Amino acid sequence: MLKNGKTLYRHALVMAVIVAPGQNRVVPLPPEFVSTPDGQEKQDCELAAAKRWLTRWVMTCIATSHFRFCEAVRQQQMDFLFVCKPDSYVLLYEWVYDFVRTGEVQIVEKSRWNGKQRLTECYRYINQVPLRDSDDALLVNRYEITLANAKQELVYRNAGHIAGH
């Protein structure tokens, strides 16, 4: 909180961790601080810090989805699984919507009881779609997970893309 009563928000560091499904432990990895380079007034950004982290620590990481960052991860011979918002990857979502319309997206649905209500899980995925509009675009596998209640109301949604060897 600043003296004038306003709250200042800023990224201070990039912190990668190793997590695994079913495990209650998180292994933190060395951070990379967002800094003001010598001789410059402007602070660098979290993506620049993440790229520095990748150069220094070549291991699996989870970070903000951004196509240049995705390419930097692949240049380090690493795989990734990142979430992605529709407004960040307009072309990717256009491709996916076309494939949904033509029935080329793989869909797996299953119903389960969570102890309180019946839920329907829907997994949709398609492989090798371009991340951006260029001839040398990185091809990724796109996934979407939705969870609906018995009234078919959406209670959870997540989507992202994966690239690997």
Domain that holds residue 112: 79-165
Specify if 123 maps to a domain: yes
Convert the pLDDT of each residue in 53-103 to its tens digit. Answer: 777 765 444 334 466 777 778 887 777 777 777 777 777 788 888 888 998
Are 14 and 86 part of one and the same domain?
no
- On whether both 33 and 96 belong to a single domain, the answer is no
- Percent of the chain at pLDDT > 90 equals 10
pLDDT in the model for residue 37: 59
- DSSP code per residue over 11-70: --EE--EE--TT----EE---EE----TT-SS---HHHHHHHHHHH--S-------HHHH
* Average pLDDT over the chain, rounded to an integer: 77
Residue 15 has a pLDDT of 75
